[in-house]
């Protein structure tokens, strides 16, 4: 269906929308091709593609076009570490995933990165604004950071933000389901991302875990809905994840936080 002549027009229409213009073209193309197989008309497929993109990404952003330039200036101009951390917290409040983690931020990385030995490299998949949590991560001096998300403008902002924070690394827009990085890392982060990825492909979680080349993977799940309701998500995700990794050679540690359930997988 990738040869469907309507696909180019679908991609053009979806990316012409201000809300979706910065999303990885590869991802729009893949979702669009699938929708063209299922929908009666091009416009139905365009509408369905946009709906899917909203559910997996747009829903979590407070602003469809965040003020990245202004945010970067705030980071650069912060006079000291305390002020910079306050700025970073303020920025992270604009994405649902990182906003939910702010109350536990001090404890979260101190716990999930504890006792791993020096962490010299981090791979952060479907990262959102999480790389701005770097000052809270107990990383080794000179550690590198590789951030991956589906938004091209976010990737550009994160590249500049990493430099402003004095961290060597890179940020890029990729569809991790079909193009997951394979470069080696001490720690890979896959935070609250699997439910979204598995909306696109039910086998995505297992495939990504098998592709990641890291000695430790931290996977987490939300335990409340975006609206804040508790509807058995902690138990449901825990059971599904246990089934996913049952036959894989990982040592698994479950770590509980308020609002977030984490698993640390080590080889």
90: annotated binding-site residue? no
211 is in an annotated binding site: no
Residue by residue, DSSP assigns the chain as -TT-THHHHHHHHHHHSTTTTTB-HHHHHHHHHHHHHH-SSHHHHHHHHHHHHHHHTGGGBSSSS--HHHHHHHHHH--SHHHHHHHHHHHHTTBHHHHHHGGGHHHHHHHHTTTS----EEEEET-TTGGGGGGGS-PPTT-EEEEEESBHHHHHHHHHHHHHTT-EEEEEE--TTTS---S-EEEEEEES-HHHHHHH-TTHHHHHHHH--EEEEEEEEESS-TTS--SSHHHHHHHHHHHHHTTS--EEEEEEETTEEEEEEE-
Ligand-binding annotation for 39, yes or no, is no
Q: Tell me if 100 is assigned to a ligand binding site.
A: yes
Q: Per the annotation, does 97 bind a ligand?
A: yes
126 a known binding residue? yes
Q: Which residues are annotated as a binding site?
A: 95-101, 126, 149, 175-176, 191
Annotated binding site for S-adenosyl-L-methionine: 95-101, 126, 149, 175-176, 191
């Amino acid at each position: 269906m990738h040869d469907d002549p309507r696909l180019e027009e679908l991609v053009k229409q979806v990316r012409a929308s201000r809300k979706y213009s910065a999303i990885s073209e590869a991802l729009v193309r893949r979702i669009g091709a699938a929708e063209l197989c299922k929908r009666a008309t091009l416009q139905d497929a365009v509408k369905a593609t946009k709906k899917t993109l909203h559910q997996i990404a747009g829903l979590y952003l407070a602003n469809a076009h965040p003020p990245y330039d202004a945010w970067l200036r705030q980071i650069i101009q912060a006079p000291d570490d305390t002020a910079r951390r306050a700025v970073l917290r303020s920025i992270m409040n604009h994405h649902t995933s990182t906003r939910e983690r702010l109350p536990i931020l001090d404890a979260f990385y101190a716990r999930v990165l504890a006792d791993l030995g020096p962490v010299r490299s981090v791979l952060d998949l479907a990262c959102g604004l999480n790389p701005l949590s770097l000052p809270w991560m107990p990383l080794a001096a000179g550690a590198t950071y590789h951030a991956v998300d589906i938004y091209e403008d976010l990737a550009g902002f994160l590249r500049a933000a990493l430099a402003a924070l004095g961290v060597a690394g890179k940020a890029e827009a990729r569809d991790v389901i079909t193009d997951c990085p394979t470069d080696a890392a001490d720690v890979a982060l896959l935070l609250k991302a699997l439910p979204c990825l598995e909306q696109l492909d039910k086998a995505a979680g297992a495939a990504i875990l098998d592709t990641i080349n890291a000695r430790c993977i931290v996977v987490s799940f939300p335990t409340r809905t975006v609206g804040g309701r508790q509807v058995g998500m902690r138990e449901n995700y825990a059971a599904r994840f246990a089934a996913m990794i049952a036959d894989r050679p990982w040592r698994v540690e479950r770590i509980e936080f308020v609002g977030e359930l984490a698993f640390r997988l080590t080889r």
